[in-house]
Structures are given as structure tokens and as C-alpha cells.
Structure 1
Amino acid sequence: MLLKDFYTVEKLENVSDRKYNAVVVLNNQHAIFKGHFPGNPVTPGVCMMQIIKELSQEIVGSSLFMTSSSNVKFMALINPEINPVLKLELEISGDLDSEIKVKNTTIFDETVALKLSNTYKKA
């Protein structure tokens, strides 16, 4: 975990061939929220992308290096004081030995907060 104590993974499960669901709980007391933004904490987009990378690494069992990102859509602000529980859907494709493609949808309550497609190579 790049940011110590930023979040915890409550669940990471394989739901079908190369499709996974995860439940992540953000630590609303983490120091990053003191500066982003004081009195109105918002989860930084780059931190969400890091969570997706770390979950993908756990799924494929290897360190990953992001080579590209596309169709990144931040659709709602994630306030960790109001919505600390995030549900992530990850679909893994590609040749797991050379290029790993990950499609993600991140949801809190019934709100889609983030959609993206990332491509990784094993580090």
C-alpha cells in the first residue's frame, strides 16, 4: 500500500471469469484529507487510481507498472466522511504475461463515482 492506512480492503472476490468485486473502506482520518480539502474532504483521483492498481496487483499476483489510461471519467466527488465505503468492479483482460487491461467502475451507495480503463505491464 503506497499510502499507509489510507484504506482497507473488506472484500476482494472473483465473481466470474476475470471479473472481480471489491469493497474498500476509506480512512476519513488519514492526513491526506487535511489538505484535500480542509473542512470538505475529497478523495484525490490519483489515490483512486492507486487503489485500482493495488487491487489489480493483488488479483494478478505481481507488481504492475501502468502504461496507459483511457476513458477516465470522474463522475462524482467521494467525500470519505459521508461515503467511506466504495464498491469496485474490476474486469481483467489481455495476456497476463505481457499486457494486463483493467476496466473499473467505482460506486458508492448507488452513485457511479469513477469509470476507467488502465493498461499495465508486470514490473
Structure 2
Amino acid sequence: MLIADLYTIHKNEITDEVQTVEITLNPDSHIFKGHFPDNPVTPGVCMLQIIKELTEDRVGHALFMKKASNVKFLAVINPEKTPDLVITNRFKDTEEGIKIQSIFTFGDVIALKVTLIFAQL
């Protein structure tokens, strides 16, 4: 985990094509002290890093992000108000690498939709 205190995994279910993960963000993480004081917001780059870490855990080796497309930040994730997230990653092996369609939700709210391609380091 790149940012050791950013989140805790509570549930991680993996099938051949889908990974569903429940996490809780740590509102006391140093990330939120600078982004932003008195109004913490989860940085988009941290959400992408979480996807990368979950994918590396799934495949068992280090990866790098080769491509990002259809990136849609649809709602602000404030770790003090909505720390509990569900991340759904749909996997497909392609010639370019591992293609992932990821969705972050809290409750019925979709916060992020993104398509990523990762390749092995």
C-alpha cells in the first residue's frame, strides 16, 4: 500500500472477471490534511492508486498504468461524511494489458467511473 493509512479493506471478493471490495477511508490520514484542511476530499489520484493496488493484489505482481479513459468523477468523497466505499472492478485481458472498468460507490451514489489498462512491470 503506497499510502499506508489511507484505507482499510473489510471485504474483498474476487471471481474470474469481477472484484468487489468494501473499504473504509481513514479521515485522519495525512492525505486529507492537505486536500483540503477543514473540507477533506479524496484525491482522484488516490482513487486510481487504490484500483492499482487492488489489481496488483489480484494478479500477484507489480503493475503500471498504461492508459486511462472515460474518467468520470461524479461525486465528491469526503472521508468524514462518506468513508465507506464499495469498489467494483471488472477485468478483461487484452493485447494491451489488463483492462479494468472500475466504479466507486457510497450508498446509492456513484462517485467514480473509469476504464484503465495496466501492464506488468
**TM-score class normalised by the smaller sequence:** over 0.9
**Aligned residues: percent identity?**
45
The alignment of Structure 1 onto Structure 2 pairs a total of residues equal to 121
Quote how far apart the aligned CAs of 1:45 are: 0.4
- Give the equivalent residue in structure 2 for 1:93: 92
Stretches of 4+ moved more than 4 A in 1?
Answer: none
Output the CA distance in 2 between the equivalents of 1:18 and 1:57: 15
Q: Residue 115 of structure 1 aligns to a residue in which SS? A: strand
TM superposition shift of 1:20 = 1.2
- TM-score (norm. length: structure 2): 0.95
Q: How big is each residue's C-alpha offset from its partner over 1:6-50, in whole Å with a ceiling of 9 and x where there is no partner? A: 111111102x43111000110000111111111100000000000
What is the RMSD of the two structures over their aligned residues, measured on CA atoms?
1.3
1:41-93 Cα deviation digits (max 9, x unpaired): 00000000000110011111111111000000000000000000110000110
1:2 corresponding residue in structure 2: 2
Consecutive unaligned residues of structure 2, counting only runs of 5 or more, are none
TM-score (norm 1): 0.94
Distance 2:46 2:72 in 1: 14
Name the CA distance, whole Å, in 1 between partners of 2:81 and 2:6.
Answer: 16
Provide structure 1 residue ranges, at least 5 long, that are not aligned to the other structure.
none
